[in-house]
Structure 1
Amino acid sequence: MSAERRKRVLLITYYWPPAGGSGVQRSVKFTKYLREFGWEPIIFTVRNGEYPERDQTLIRDIPEDIEVVTAPTYEPYAIFRALTGHKQHVNANLFHNRQKKGVISRLLFWIRSNLFIPDARIGWLIPAKRRLNTFLRQESVDAIISTGPPHTVHLIAASVSKKFSIPWLADFRDPWTGIDYFDKLALTSAARRLHQRLEYRTLTQADSVITVSPFLQKMLEGISHRKVHVITNGFDEENFIHKRPAPDTRFTIVHMGMLGGARDHRIFWQALATLAQHDQAFHEALEIRLYGKVDAGILEAVPPVLARNTSLEHYVPHAVVPKILQRAQLLYLPIHDCAIDAGFLPGKLFEYLAARRPIISIGPVHGDAANVIRSLQAGVTVHYTDLDALIHYFRERFQAYQDHIPFEASSSLAQFSRRNLTAALADLLNTHLPTPSSHGTSPG
């Protein structure tokens, strides 16, 4: 860049390494590539967050001299652990289940639903605003991005954006009131209205709104009556530039990431059990490898005929994921079975695509994920109840495996590379640059 001061963007995110999982990767990859497009990222994150997963390997993607600003939070999960005797970090999804047994658990669920709005990270709001008010009086930035959930980040961004007259982009990785578990919360009518007001205010006050799929774009545009931009998740091409490993010698079906709840599709197991019972060669060659957190109920329900074919590894560092995917004979992508299933474009889909191995997805056949898979000829999507179609595809892929027929993967993936997606974000940031005369304005 020239001697002129580099443009600076403040990225407000709760999830930041050592946090692991899919949510943190979007922020990390934007940070990795923003400098190539003229923007210097400054990270604002939580000092003492509760993370369901941790992955130190993600730190490798962060430039060493990136400035990280933090503020502490007051987490309700610490109180939950004290009251219930839990010693481990608590998954935020725990508070989404109204069926939890016990008076204390039901009470905590009601409290979580009605007093922690917009989410259980609201204890970060006041410390974050205080820290950023101090920081922004001393340092100038050209734009702010808040990426949620948790949607508390948008409330933080709204406050400092208004106070310091800084353009603000609100990034919705998931919807707010449209999320699949929202209607399962024990909400009073007043709490529901407050969620709706905060959501509408965020969508209409932000200078730009970003989301991750066309379906969610339409949902948010329907609420806000304004333009919403789509910047999908993607894959980092640098993770896939090494020599491709040879495919597994066995017929491996791999699922990467959390598996449970609305992604628990029993026809997956039915189809494989049917084939294993009627085809000895299939049974002997089959390996089902699950990487990540899997609900105990799923493992308990694995058909006996598949018990020895199924393995579980609770968590693997993201750095080793590409090779696992590239070696698989088939990649399994279950989509949530819920009201907004058509809008799910899981982050793992793009790494599946980059692995260039066939994908079998169970979900809405005209959803956003199915459209991407179909357009790139990357595999097949079958409906949640279409057992015959699922069996047929497993048979087809097993025959190709036996005959050593290579999978012809699409090469048209550039639109989903993290570098190109960051370029789109930088272009959007550039549209909101203030005039030179108003550069770095802050209240006295």
Structure 2
Amino acid sequence: MEKNLLIVSYAFPPSLEIGGRRWSKFVPYLNNLGYKISLLTHQPKIKVEDKIVYNNLNRVDFFNSKYPTVLEKRPVNVIDHLKYKVSLLYMKIITKNNYYDKGVLIKKSFLRKASSIIKEENIKLVIITGAPFSLLYYGTLLKQNLSIKLISDFRDPWTWGDGYGMNILSSKRKEKEISYQNEVLKFSNLVFVPVKPMYDHLVINYKEFKTKINILPHGYDKNDFEKVKYNIKNNNNNFRIIYGGTIYSNLDQLYHELYNCVKNNINCDYNIEIFTNDFKYLTKSQLFEIKKKMSVKKLLPTKDFMKKVHSADAFLLFFPDNVKDFLVLSFMKLYI
């Protein structure tokens, strides 16, 4: 019997967005178990030249979210602020749901594309990971219209979290998101979460769905790290501190404390490098003030970044209170 599987993940390598790493790490092992895997993902912003990233996949299809890119980053000047406000107003008018959800504009086109793949590849199992959480809801519509089993993967807290704009939604929009979340829990055959605090929240508040909720921790592929030379030494006298990955929300105070700390100790022997694509807490002028000791750079491929980690003296991690007990992917990379 063929084991045909469709994975839906908004981000997926070669995209450097951290959300794509989770299921990309599971794909080789699912492939080894005999699954014939199709992938539906957002069109990557970078040119796909290295086809090896899709080695274990039978088929890859892309969708365009149509989401305003200006809303994906914090505005830094007057023009950016104007574009941001206009785009945000547009999203508030066009959707009754969460206007920060990147999948909220593509319901019809997504369902059409996903349905086509399911029928053409004789898919029996669909795994959808969110955020964007709208994709999880679209999965319930697929389940009700096609003969499939559905696994919904909550990478992050949905309606009970502060991320993805949830903490600033109006009561009506929040109720809409809660209704979507309820549908996902109702129609999914299984629900995965990566950490126990998320599991505890769901099983306490949704006792009727307890048997289908499971913890699936973040994974890693040990082959990624066998290529890294671990004997890299820091030949510089400066104490080197490094960070890489997603910058969480609600950390304004912590990053401003870091800024003040660096500014007040500008002549000490240390250096801080932050690798991320979404740094938003300090202005360009503030970063210029402390550029002698702290720099923010674009994300690097995993093996290149890990070389920098192993040549550093310390790894910096900042967590907001709502995820302070989460075992995130960064820990997986550091402690293997």
Band the TM-score falls in, shorter-chain normalisation: 0.7 to 0.9
- TM-score, normalising length: structure 2: 0.81
The structure richer in helix per residue is 1
Q: Gapped runs of 5+ residues in structure 2?
A: none
Distance 2:316 2:102 in 1: 31
Task: For residue 344 of structure 1, report the CA deviation from its aligned partner.
Answer: 3.4
Specify the code of the residue in structure 2 equivalent to 1:66: N
Task: For residue 113 of structure 1, report the CA deviation from its aligned partner.
Answer: 6.9
Specify the code of the residue in structure 2 equivalent to 1:126: K
- Specify the alignment match of 2:121 in structure 1: 139
Task: For residue 129 of structure 1, report the CA deviation from its aligned partner.
Answer: 1.6
**Bigger radius of gyration:** 1
Q: Is the 8 A contact 2:240 2:271 kept in 1?
A: yes
Task: For residue 334 of structure 1, report the CA deviation from its aligned partner.
Answer: 0.6
Could you tell me which of 39, 45, 56 is aligned with 1:43? 39
- Specify the alignment match of 2:3 in structure 1: 7
- Specify the alignment match of 2:295 in structure 1: 311
Q: Secondary structure at the match of 1:233?
A: coil
- TM-score, normalising length: structure 1: 0.63
Residues 27-426 of structure 1: pairs in structure 2 closer than 5 A: 27-46=23-42, 48=43, 54=46, 60-63=52-55, 66-70=58-62, 72-73=63-64, 75-77=66-68, 89-92=69-72, 104=86, 107-108=89-90, 110-111=92-93, 114-115=96-97, 119-181=101-163, 182-187=165-170, 189-225=171-207, 226-227=209-210, 228-242=213-227, 243-250=229-236, 251-259=239-247, 261-264=249-252, 265=254, 266-269=256-259, 276=265, 283-284=268-269, 286-293=270-277, 294-295=279-280, 297=282, 300-301=285-286, 307-337=291-321, 340-354=322-336
CA change 1:39–1:179 in 2 (3 A) is same
Q: Gapped runs of 5+ residues in structure 1?
A: 78-88, 355-444
When the two chains are superposed, the root-mean-square deviation of aligned CA atoms in Å is 3.2
CA change 1:155–1:336 in 2 (3 A) is same
Instruction: State the Cα deviation string for residues 262-286 of structure 1 (Å, max 9, x = none).
Output: 2341444555667x47xx8xx23x1
Identical positions, percent: 18
Q: Is the 8 A contact 2:152 2:190 kept in 1?
A: yes
Equivalent residues, number:
320
Distance 1:104 1:64 in 2: 42
Task: For residue 104 of structure 1, report the CA deviation from its aligned partner.
Answer: 2.9
Q: Is the 8 A contact 1:55 1:317 kept in 2?
A: no
CA change 1:180–1:207 in 2 (3 A) is same
Distance 1:317 1:163 in 2: 39
- Specify the alignment match of 1:409 in structure 2: none
Instruction: State the Cα deviation string for residues 267-324 of structure 1 (Å, max 9, x = none).
Output: 44555667x47xx8xx23x1211112322616654696x6422233223223312211
Q: Is the 8 A contact 2:4 2:123 kept in 1?
A: yes
Distance 1:260 1:194 in 2: 25
Task: For residue 255 of structure 1, report the CA deviation from its aligned partner.
Answer: 0.8
